[in-house]
Structure 1
Amino acid sequence: MHKIVLFILITAVWSCNTKNSIRFAVKKGDGVFLAQPVHFDLKNAEANQIDFKEAMILFQETGKEDIEVSFQLDESNGGIWFVPVIDKGEDETLNFRLENGVSTSKSGTGVSNQKQNGNLQLRLQDKPVVSYRYEMTYPPVGADSIFRKSGYIHPIITPKGDTLTRIQPDDHYHHYGFWGPWTHTQVDGERVDFWNLGEGMGTVLFKEFKKEESGNVFTSFTAVQEHIDLKTKEDPQVALNENLKVRLWNLNRPDRYMFDYKSEFSSPLENGILFEAYRYGGGLGLRFNERWKADNCSVLTSEGNDRLTADGTNAKWCIVSGEASDGKGTNGILFMSHPKNRNHPEPMRIWPIDANGGRGDMFFEFCPIRHEEWKIEPNKNYELNYRMVVFDGTLNAEEAEAYWQSFASENQIELINK
């Protein structure tokens, strides 16, 4: 398995015409090169003859006709993000030129967000693909209202339109698509469960949005979520404050997109909170659609484990895939854990093949406390980072490793003065 390294070689040039420009190259590496986000740090180019306060255009130089490439400013770290056009040639690098000028491209950005009926929809080519539920969802008629919830992701929809997530299944009313409450915790020596809503101990709810942005390459939001201790009914207390950051990337291909899920959290409690070691809790969990059973879905992890052997093992990445809704082909999700996450490669909870009365329903979770407890100190910041690729068709192990390598390693920047 070859490791993919994106290595940015930057060359500053003073153009012969009136335009100022910076040229740089993205090294392909010696493995699979996939369309995925690349970051170029403008701070490293401050000495060059280009005005970053003016309009800029990015071109990919092909040796024939240059291709204009969409990019997006990232104000948080002073750079731009873009997705290269795949070049299957034998050259070791892809060459780019960033210059002052006004774009003449009339193509749409491809990504946007929209609030609709209590959901914040992240949209690709004007179709919702990842939706965050910020208003309250109530359980089905006849079920206890204690199972009501906000602050979760559903539906996740493939580019061709298959819904992969499920909420409120009758076997687990507390399952809400894609979400990450903590299960066995201790607050001042008392057990509190934020996952199993039916026990009435705790819940996780949306509070407010801090930030939303959309551009040519990604659309994103930051939602504030409160993990609420309900053990004292008269005076519930917030045990964790969480900033959930979700970013959808346009990969410029019809069968795949990518999104990031970053949880930043801290405890305002005087004594903090203890996450006990347990097979469920935190990280991220996903209850898959009801179509997938024991005989039509599969698992493959970075360590080579499958549906029969993966539960309880650790992995850098995991592919979960199953039969498409029309019975023709497959689709699924590649889950990736960042190396800075606690207990990386990260433990997983994957339902056994005979789960739920032998049906073999599919549930996946990266669970950083599966084998070891985690003490959250008061007013100290913690974070967990994940990346997902949602796909129609297939995604193989070599591609999964290439995606993970890009996620795991920051771009190496070298300024070359000539």
Structure 2
Amino acid sequence: MKSILSMLILMFLICPLTAEEKLLASLVLTAHERDIGETPLSVSCDGLITHENDERLLLYEMNAQERRLIPSQVENGIYKRVWWMLDGGLSAGSQRSFQLVLSDSVTPTITPMNFSLLRDDLVLMENRQNRLNYHFGVVEPPDGASPLFRRSGFIHPLWSPRGQVLTRIQPPDHLHHFGIWNPWTKTRFQGREIDFWNLGQGQGTVRFAGFTAFIRGPLFCGFKARQEHIDLTQQPEVVALNEVWDVRAWKAGEASSWWCDFNTFLSCATDSAIVLEAYRYGGGLGFRAMESWTRETCRVLTSEGRTRIDADGSRARWCLVSGENELNEEAGILFLSHPENRDFPEPMRVWPLDANDGRGDLFFEFCPIRLTEWSLRPGREYRLKYRMVVFDGELTAEQAEQMWQDFAHPPFVQVIPATR
């Protein structure tokens, strides 16, 4: 406490406010037992600002020599929060301090994190460089395939920082694969067996049902989209399960990687429960990799040290998948599962090396129902929370663990309101 008080006194002596600014709160971040990596930070600003003046909010980092204006972004959810990026990280035993300030005038903001809304696609971008594409329009099946393979509501392409497309949709071996997507497979609804994953069976599908929000700003951009799990066995069709995707792309801290937060919210669409039966794949977060990733060119490493040889069916906090394209350029995705997710550490489905007649194409999924069924009850909402770190080059196990720690256990920032 004494060190925090000394820091605050030093800030006020060396970095006074201007006449046009009002101090709202001082913020102190302390790395106690472990290092903190470059990661998003946030604090509640409820009671400090309103929707009428949040565009006048400024965030400064303070040190003994100067104060530095840093990019920040206000999130207006159930609770109002201000976000910023801890660039450079923080070593164990160290502190960094900040000030929340209200300016007399609206400060022009640069919004490198933006989106482009097209006829069938929503593209998230950083400085006009594509990050991911959410395809909300209906994609028709290849010529000669059943119309049952029509599908909307998935992510493809997902681009690496240098522009590699890492996802694949409708491969000939699995026409129901769609980049990054997460339908449930073996379910029971109103006494019927419904498969929302294997579209060719004609039992169920998932459809985009509308956007509820678009977000742009200096730190992140994103969207919230409604998706419906449809029971096709009944006429008229029945919506069995409602889902909301909350997807956020973060401004890259360095040129070789960027982050995507993927939250999915599930709720029953009727007064009937829906049971997600235990099965080796379905739900969670699924990924079908680009065609050039085969047994010779891609790798898997989990938080428990397992590889593609023995990762399938095991549990993990994180899973690192990477591979090379036709030009021998390396890229990959680190998938992080949150401790609040169901059946954490989460079971996984990882295709074995001999998948697809020995080609060894890569499919990965965090699968929260792989080992035990999950009954979703009416009147409740359920959440699954993931982060993807998309990178070029290589990522080490030590870096992956640091990123998971910062995601799973966000650093605590002490808020000291200014005396009114």
TM-score (norm 2): 0.89
Question: Contact 1:54/1:100 (CA < 8 Å) preserved in 2?
Answer: no
**Structure 2 counterpart of 1:39, one-letter code:** S
- 2:299 counterpart residue number: 298
Conserved 8 A contact 2:29-2:413:
no
Summarize the Cα distance change of 1:326–1:221 in structure 2 as closer, same or farther, 3 Å threshold: same
**Partner AA of 2:380 in structure 1:** K
Cα deviation code 1:360-392 (max 9, x no counterpart):
100000000001011111232111111111011
Contact 1:69–1:84 (CA under 8 A) maintained in structure 2: no
CA pair 82-186 structure 1, distance change in 2 beyond 3 A: same
Matches of 2:229 and 2:355, distance apart in 1: 29
- The one of 221, 239, 251 equivalent to 2:223 is 221
1:36-47 correspondence runs (5 A): 36-43=39-46
- Residue by residue over 1:227-251, the C-alpha shift from the partner in whole angstroms, topping out at 9 and shown as x without a partner, is 000012x311000011111111113
Q: Alpha-carbon deviation of 1:184? A: 0.6
| Residue 405 of structure 1 pairs with residue 405 of structure 2 | yes
User: Which residue of the partner structure matches residue 187 of structure 1?
Assistant: 189
CA distance in 2, matches of 1:303, 1:290: 27
Q: CA, structure 1 residues 16+134, in 2 after alignment: closer, same or farther (shift >3 Å)?
A: closer
Q: Find the aligned partners of 1:151 and 1:16 in 2 and give their Cα distance.
A: 48
Shift of 1:44: 7.6
Q: 1:88 to 1:39 in 2, by over 3 A?
A: closer
Indicate if the aligned counterparts of 1:56 and 1:102 stay in contact, CA closer than 8 A. no
Is 1:67 the counterpart of 2:51? The answer is: no
Structure 1 stretches lacking a partner, 5+ long:
1-7
Distance apart, 1:196 and its partner CA: 0.4
Evaluate the alpha carbon distance shift between residue 89 and residue 190 of structure 1 in structure 2; reply closer, same or farther with a 3 A threshold.
Answer: closer
AA aligned opposite 1:265: L
- Give 2:154's aligned residue: 152
User: How many Å separate the matches in 2 of 1:54 and 1:166?
Assistant: 40
1:320 and 1:332 in contact (8 A); partners too: yes
Q: Which letter does structure 1 place at the counterpart of 2:199?
A: L
Q: Percent identity?
A: 40
Q: Equivalent residue for 1:175? A: 177
Corresponding letter in the other structure for 2:314: T
Q: Give, in whole Å, the separation in 1 of the partners of 2:251 and 2:221.
A: 9
Q: How many residues are paired up?
A: 405
| Residue identity matched to 1:97 | Q
Deviations, residues 328-353 of structure 1 (Å, cap 9, x unaligned): 4x210111111111100000000001
Alpha-carbon distance between aligned partners in 2 of 1:267 and 1:80, rounded to the nearest angstrom = 32
Counterpart CA distance in 2 for 1:354 and 1:170 is 17
1:129 shift after superposition: 1.1
In structure 2, relative to structure 1, the CA distance for the partners of 1:16 and 1:123 (3 Å cut) is: closer
Q: Give yes or no for contact 2:60–2:69 (8 Å, CA) kept in 1.
A: yes
Corresponding residue to 2:38 among 35, 40, 60: 35
Worse-superposed segment, 192-201 or 120-129:
120-129
Unaligned runs of 5+ in 2: none
Distance 2:247 2:386 in 1: 10
**Contact 1:57-1:103 at 8 Å conserved across structures:** no
Whole-Å Cα distance in 1 between the matches of residues 402 and 223 of structure 2? Answer: 26
Cα distance 1:102–1:352, how it changes in 2: closer, same or farther (>3 A)?
farther
Superposition deviation, residue 90 in structure 1: 8.7
Cα offset for 1:53? Answer: 5.0
Work out whether residues 298 and 320 of structure 1, in 8 Å CA contact, stay in contact via their aligned partners in 2.
yes
Q: How does 1:16-165 map to 2 (within 5 A)?
A: 17-18=18-19, 19-21=21-23, 22-29=25-32, 31-43=34-46, 55-76=56-77, 77-86=79-88, 92-101=94-103, 108-165=110-167
CA distance in 2, matches of 1:103, 1:323: 50
Structure 2: distance between partners of 1:276 and 1:52: 49
Distance in 1 between the 2:160 and 2:341 partners? 27
SS of 2:334's equivalent? strand
1:264 corresponds in structure 2 to: 265
**Aligned mates of 1:367, 1:194 — CA distance in 2:** 15
SS of corresponding position for 1:401: helix
Q: Which residue in the other structure is 1:240 paired with?
A: 241
Q: For the aligned residues, what is the CA RMSD?
A: 2.6
1:391 maps to 391
CA distance 1:129–1:53, shift in 2 (3 Å): closer
